[in-house]
Structure 1
Amino acid sequence: MSTRTSGITGTGDVDQDVNAGSYTLSETGPAGYVGTWSCVNAAGDPVTVNANNGITVALAQSVTCTVNNDDQTAHLKLVKTITNNNGGTATVTDWTLTATGPTTIRGITGTGDVDQDVNAGSYTLSETGPAGYAGTWSCVNAAGDPVTVNANNGITVALAQSVTCTVNNDDQTAHLKLVKTITNNNGGTATVTDWTLTATGPTTIRGITGTGDVDQDVNAGSYTLSETGPAGYVGTWSCVNAAGDPVTVNANNGITVALAQSVTCTVNNDDQTAHLKLVKTITNNNGGTATVTDWTLTATGPTTIRGITGTGDVDQDVNAGSYTLSETGPAGYAGTWSCVTAAGDPVTVNANNGITVALAQSVTCTVNNDDQPAHLTLVKKVVNDNGGTAAATAWTLTATGPTTIRGITGTGDVDQDVNAGTYALSESGGPTGYDASAWSCVLTGQPATTVPVTNATVTLALGQDVTCTITNSYSLVPVRGLTIVKAAFEAKHHGWVPSDGIVDFGDTVGFTLTVTATGNMPQTNVVVTDTLQPGMTYVNGSATCLNGVACTISYNPDTQTLAATIDRLDPGQQVIVSFKVTIDAAPAIAAGTTYTWHGENVGAVKSNEVRKVTSNEVTLRAHYEELAKTGAAHLEVGGFGLISLLLGAGLMIATKRRRRDTA
């Protein structure tokens, strides 16, 4: 029978005499080794070991069986899986997997580089590849039993063990935060909460700065940043990662947010300056002569500008806000403001010439100054205090100038808008006997302001309302006159009768000089004279003044001139100077001859106001004839006609003839 032996190599337990026979060789010990038995006899010749590790030991045979235990390689396989549920786009081949240990392996999942026999031992698992993924290792043996992976991703691979380690890479969410800041240095008044911020992309977020709506985990990917809010602001986006490093923002405000990246994007909105331009235009169609540079234009507001049209002073960037438009310049122009945007759309100008300029708005405001017509009224006044009866409408009034007007007072013809300038004032028509005053002009209104008039010329400024008046006063035309009428009277029947011009030598004749002050002015120092013709002799003391008018009588015998002086005769007043003369006796003549006398006599009057005026001529005639047969004288008076005379009592003297005979 065979003998069983067992023990540790090198000990007597496994080095013994045994019975000849069949033996099955085996061993127990560490796993992972493959034992191979080989046997030799004492001569070193091999002893057959069958497939079941069985041998036959003959009698007296010495056999040595050696089992060589070869440690068996382990097997390690690395596998990559991916979870792309947060925007990740990587594939399993984007990673290089590594197991660092006794037999380090490295490569791409699915390749032989990471599916190899390895020496048993401790391995550290790792990978390199796209960021933004969190990798989790898990390992199993060939039976599917889990193999422990420690906190450092370390595993132990036993001899002959087959281990498959899988790393699952889960794409990690990114984080995106949107922030609003504002720079209000050009008149802006908006606040950060006036904007809605948006990041449009794999996980679109939208909301107000400072809220959770714009502070979220998002999927990685490309995002376009935008905002909606008040006009007039320019927004500039800038982004940084969690470390404060800049994240590129492209021209379209696009960014790329990587997996697991935390990005903060800030948009600063800077209020944009507005632009305001002031322009002057002029309409000179009513006599105006100003030019556009005669005005100073002003816009008063957050950024007040002031200057002359066409200069940079009134063509500037300004802060947004409310502006009041104004100007200073020549009087007589009405300015109207109108404003438009850069697109030509109207901008409202309120009743106080106020406008509102928005941020970033370009506004052009034009003020057109239209020269305002003057207004001229011509007025006629009439003063009829001295008996005049004329009406003011009897005259035609005229102002000759840039816009000549002509017409009757009180009508629209002389109450008109006119162009500014110089006007010559005049009048025509109307009855005589009226004195015209100088023209006087005033600005219409209360109190009236005098406008200078020189040589009946007035100058009207643009926009002035002027009333020019001329007054015509009725006045007596200074008419100064004296009339004188002479009459002769003869004594008859104990009275005086008008003489027929035929008298006798030796007769007493009475004369009257009737003087009347005509016209409308008094006569002063009135002197009535009468120079007697030869053949007449003044009857001393016979002269007197009638009609209750006092006078001073004198007679100059040398010149045979009678004079009566009256201090004053009022218009229409009459005085009669009465005096007597005698007709001288006829001279002696020869018998049978005749002698005729006649005297043509006139009176005269003068005053301080009137030169000498003579009266009508009064002619007297006397005839004498010496008869030869008896020596007696024969007087024959021939008749002659007297002119008709107006006496003080209104008596008309008729011409008569008489004859007186002496036998």
Structure 2
Amino acid sequence: MIPASDVGKFDLLVDGNVEADDIGDSGTTGAVSVSAGKSNDPDPIGDTHTVGEAAGTNTDLSRYDTSISCTDGTDTVGPVAGIGPVDVFVEPDDAWVCTITNTLRQGTLIVKKQVINDNGGNATASDFTFSIDAGSAVSFDEAGGGSTDPLTGENSFQVDAGDYTVTEGVVSGYTASDNGNCSPATVVAGETTICEFTNDDDAPSLTLVKTVINDNGGTAAAGDWTLAAAGYDAVSPDAGTYDLSETGPVGYTLTSLTCDNAQGQVSSVTLGLGESVTCTFVNDDDAPSLTLVKEVTNDNGGTAVAGDWTLTAAGYDANNPQAGSYDLSETGPVGYTLTSLTCDNAQGQVSSVTLGLGESVTCTFVNDDLIDITLEIVKTFDPITVQVGESGTFTIAVTNLGPSTATDVLVTDLVDDALDVTGLALVPPAVGDCSASIGQSISCTVDILAGQTIEIIVDFVATAPFLPEDPVGEEGSQFIFVFANGSSLEGHSTGEVFYTDEFGETTQVDNGLTKNDYPFDIGGFTLHLSCSELFTGGWADNGGPNEFANPDWQVAFFSINRYNSGGLFKTCGGVVLPIEIPNTATATGTDDYPDDDTVSDGATVVIGEGDLIAPTVQITEPAHGATGVDGSALTVSGTAGDDVAVDRVMLHVKNLDTGQSWTGSEWVDAWVWFEASGTDVWSYAFGVGVADGHYQALAWSFDTSSKISAFSQSVFTVGTVSDVDPPTVEITDPAHGATGVDGSALTVSGTAGDDVAV
């Protein structure tokens, strides 16, 4: 047997008979006796026999090349290929030995490799090995079979026919498969068996996981993030390195990014072939922070500091801050107001703060000290009794007891008309402004430091509510009476009459005037209006309250203007009983705690009787009736007198030919008067030429108690005119000084004359 170790079994045949069965290498039939021919055979003695073999148990003869050779030492047969039978001529006494040689026939075993790199693998065929029947590892030949593809390999072997086990070494990341001809690989003698391995790179897998920690008020869920491995395709995953990233809600911090195939924190993942990797992104909601700041403005005397307040965001825990909304509040000293509460993540004023995740917010409380003032006001008169026409002073002293500075304090005083304001001073002058004061209305705006006192000093002249100084009025008597009880009566003898009681209520009363007597029913007496009654001491002799009347009805003041022929005929009046004039000043300052501070103080001044006698006046030049007066330098002059003092002289000059009046600068078609120069001795120079013609000059004097004199008249002629002499007039009835005149049918009559015509 070749090889001798071959396990094939054969049956040995002699003349077709099995002489030895299932023998192997060196097996023999032993000596087999055969005939050497027949005696009657015409051929030489001997006989032909056959030698051959047949397959034994489990032996396939096709796997072998067989040859038979025989020899008797002299002659040989063969070798003859095949299993026979082979003829051998055996002569007597021959000893033939036939040898059958079975040579195991070989086949071709080809081992192939196919590498598939469709998931990022980079191995080639030569990176793989195989072994046959657990023999030594053999690398695949990438050039085998004439291939130029490094992903294929082929190794060819001539092997004995038989079954072989072909295995390959393991290469990580690749999955092996074969074509089914590898274990076993059955090699048939003379044929080719192909064992082919296919190695496909294993697809990696990547799982990205999101873990969300909401321990600071966050509400986001894992699904709110998008996780990415740049370039990774889950449908066709490749081994390789991929940068990791995420997008998602603000207010979260990526606190951890790990992959289970790497140590520590990562920013990318490397996937090996066949590797299943999980990478976990951990996001923690960012803790917000809140800072509460207190600012204190002490501009009104306050002394509190920021630390005196407690600032609160209800529910906020600085040790475990949560996103959300928190109501803001504070507690602190009284006397302050919260003027501003702002947060730097919001517009305008707020009452709460909303904290977003990771947001750092500062909220500022601003408190301003309230204006807290206490004002005191004291009003005093000096002197406390002043006569009509005399000067006096009253002082309004305002003190600010603090603790704040009092700004824009308004000090007002509506001064009674009986006190004619002549001057005003502020002490100290720098603290305010009294420019708003007009006439009898005192109005000053001042700033008063805490503890400071300011004074408003008002000068006045004591007067009384005299009737207007109008030299032209309605015929009759205009009058006003003020009584001791504070009530008053005012009206005109031919018009309406009004009574005002001590409470200020005014009503119209009947006018039952008879001649110069007014029946005052409310007081229970008749008032005489002729100016012959001076109501001395508040009592009357001819008409009015007498000493037997109720003293509340004493006349305290009276003023009468009598008009005749359209002009002021006579005036009288004055204070006849001391009048108590109450007067109140008020100061108001802005005070935020709790509200504006307003104080008032009243004071009383008594106005005494003063000057009761009206002044006098006389025109001396031109003399009444003068003619040929020089109009180029016309001057009207005269004298005036009073028991106290003359205050001024007023003139009216009229051109009787044109009806125009002189204003002091021009002639106009209206009744006007103007002031002369001087008092006791007075004059007025025209300063311009006066045309020839007839002129009338009227003069009145006023004393310091505002009483007015009866007028003085001069009618004169300027230049040369045809009518030189003035007219004359005389009242004949009732005669001057007549008494007992019948008032029921009174008639006044007389005569008039002129050199030309009346």
Q: State the TM-score, normalized to the length of structure 2.
A: 0.49
Q: Which residue of 2 aligns with 1:456?
A: 351
Match status 1:428 vs 2:357: no
Q: Which residue of 2 aligns with 1:399?
A: 313
Partner amino acid, structure 2, of 1:274: P
Q: Which residue of 1 aligns with 2:132?
A: 199
Q: Which residue of 2 aligns with 1:516?
A: 398
Partner amino acid, structure 2, of 1:269: N
Match status 1:298 vs 2:298: no
Compared CA separation, residues 452 and 268, structure 1 to 2 (3 A): farther
Match status 1:89 vs 2:7: yes
Aligned match of 1:373 in 263, 275, 287? 287
Contact 2:343 2:353 in 1 (8 A): no
Compared CA separation, residues 234 and 507, structure 1 to 2 (3 A): closer
Shift of 1:147: 1.1
Q: Which residue of 2 aligns with 1:577?
A: 458
Using the alignment, how far apart are the partners of 2:455 and 2:349 within structure 1?
48
Match status 1:274 vs 2:192: no
Compared CA separation, residues 228 and 429, structure 1 to 2 (3 A): farther
Contact 1:324 1:352 in 2 (8 A): no
Contact 1:486 1:603 in 2 (8 A): no
Secondary structure, aligned partner of 1:193: helix
Task: Give the alignment of 1:249-264 within 5 angstroms.
Answer: 249=182, 253-255=183-185, 263-264=193-194
Shift of 1:165: 0.8
Using the alignment, how far apart are the partners of 1:339 and 1:613 within structure 2?
80
Q: Which residue of 2 aligns with 1:615?
A: 601
Using the alignment, how far apart are the partners of 1:397 and 1:575 within structure 2?
46
Q: Which residue of 1 aligns with 2:141?
A: 210
Partner amino acid, structure 1, of 2:442: T
Shift of 1:186: 2.3
Using the alignment, how far apart are the partners of 2:386 and 2:17 within structure 1?
196
Using the alignment, how far apart are the partners of 1:272 and 1:299 within structure 2?
19
Match status 1:528 vs 2:413: yes
Q: Which residue of 1 aligns with 2:177?
A: 236
Compared CA separation, residues 545 and 206, structure 1 to 2 (3 A): closer
Contact 2:216 2:286 in 1 (8 A): yes
Compared CA separation, residues 384 and 216, structure 1 to 2 (3 A): farther
Match status 1:330 vs 2:260: no
Q: Which residue of 1 aligns with 2:322?
A: 419
Shift of 1:167: 1.0
Question: Percent of counterpart pairs with the same letter?
Answer: 26
Shift of 1:254: 4.4
Partner amino acid, structure 2, of 1:157: F
Using the alignment, how far apart are the partners of 2:128 and 2:138 within structure 1?
8
Contact 2:126 2:139 in 1 (8 A): yes
Using the alignment, how far apart are the partners of 1:552 and 1:441 within structure 2?
46
* 1:219-278 Cα deviation digits (max 9, x unpaired): 776644333343121111236xxxxxxx4x4xxx44455677754422111122233334
Secondary structure, aligned partner of 1:293: helix
Using the alignment, how far apart are the partners of 1:453 and 1:550 within structure 2?
40
* 1:501-541 Cα deviation digits (max 9, x unpaired): xx8999989552224375522245x5424559xxxx86x67
Secondary structure, aligned partner of 1:226: strand
Match status 1:319 vs 2:238: yes
Task: Give the alignment of 1:159-238 within 5 angstroms.
Answer: 159-160=91-92, 161-171=94-104, 176-201=109-134, 204-210=135-141, 215-216=156-157, 223-238=164-179
Contact 1:420 1:460 in 2 (8 A): yes
Using the alignment, how far apart are the partners of 1:300 and 1:338 within structure 2?
15
Partner amino acid, structure 2, of 1:604: T
Compared CA separation, residues 325 and 550, structure 1 to 2 (3 A): closer
Secondary structure, aligned partner of 1:139: strand
Secondary structure, aligned partner of 2:78: coil
Partner amino acid, structure 2, of 1:461: G
Contact 2:204 2:273 in 1 (8 A): yes
Aligned match of 2:584 in 604, 609, 628? 604
* 1:422-451 Cα deviation digits (max 9, x unpaired): 222333325645653231223xxxxxxxx4
Using the alignment, how far apart are the partners of 1:166 and 1:475 within structure 2?
137
Unmatched 5+ stretches in structure 2 = 22-27, 38-46, 145-153, 465-483, 485-535, 540-545, 548-576, 590-595, 609-758
* 1:279-338 Cα deviation digits (max 9, x unpaired): 4443332222233333344344342x4xxxxxxxxxx77333333444433332334666
Compared CA separation, residues 399 and 511, structure 1 to 2 (3 A): same
Aligned match of 2:89 in 157, 161, 166? 157
Using the alignment, how far apart are the partners of 1:289 and 1:600 within structure 2?
84
Partner amino acid, structure 1, of 2:220: A
Contact 2:388 2:607 in 1 (8 A): no
Task: Give the alignment of 1:617-656 within 5 angstroms.
Answer: 617=603
Secondary structure, aligned partner of 1:285: coil
Contact 1:484 1:613 in 2 (8 A): no
Shift of 1:191: 1.3
Using the alignment, how far apart are the partners of 2:414 and 2:349 within structure 1?
52
Q: Which residue of 2 aligns with 1:408?
A: none
Compared CA separation, residues 426 and 168, structure 1 to 2 (3 A): same
Using the alignment, how far apart are the partners of 1:368 and 1:546 within structure 2?
78
Using the alignment, how far apart are the partners of 1:284 and 1:328 within structure 2?
17
Compared CA separation, residues 371 and 614, structure 1 to 2 (3 A): closer
Shift of 1:473: 6.1
Unmatched 5+ stretches in structure 1 = 1-81, 240-246, 306-315, 341-345, 406-412, 443-450, 490-498, 556-562, 591-596, 623-663
Q: Which residue of 1 aligns with 2:467?
A: none
Task: Give the alignment of 1:341-352 within 5 angstroms.
Answer: 346-348=260-262
Using the alignment, how far apart are the partners of 1:338 and 1:287 within structure 2?
22
Compared CA separation, residues 477 and 146, structure 1 to 2 (3 A): farther
Using the alignment, how far apart are the partners of 1:577 and 1:377 within structure 2?
58
Match status 1:140 vs 2:71: yes
Task: Give the alignment of 1:527-606 within 5 angstroms.
Answer: 527-529=412-414, 531=416, 545=425, 547=427, 563-566=440-443, 568-571=445-448, 573-579=454-460, 602-606=582-586
Using the alignment, how far apart are the partners of 2:268 and 2:436 within structure 1?
93
Aligned match of 1:477 in 354, 371, 381? 371
Using the alignment, how far apart are the partners of 1:225 and 1:565 within structure 2?
129
Using the alignment, how far apart are the partners of 2:307 and 2:213 within structure 1?
38
Using the alignment, how far apart are the partners of 2:54 and 2:36 within structure 1?
18
Task: Please give the root-mean-square deviation of Cα atoms over the aligned residues, in Å.
Answer: 4.9
Partner amino acid, structure 2, of 1:397: L
Q: State the TM-score, normalized to the length of structure 1.
A: 0.55
Match status 1:468 vs 2:362: yes
Contact 1:276 1:317 in 2 (8 A): no
Using the alignment, how far apart are the partners of 1:531 and 1:169 within structure 2?
164
Contact 1:339 1:363 in 2 (8 A): no
Q: Which residue of 2 aligns with 1:439?
A: 342
Using the alignment, how far apart are the partners of 1:200 and 1:130 within structure 2?
22
Secondary structure, aligned partner of 1:137: strand
Compared CA separation, residues 196 and 172, structure 1 to 2 (3 A): same
Secondary structure, aligned partner of 1:528: strand
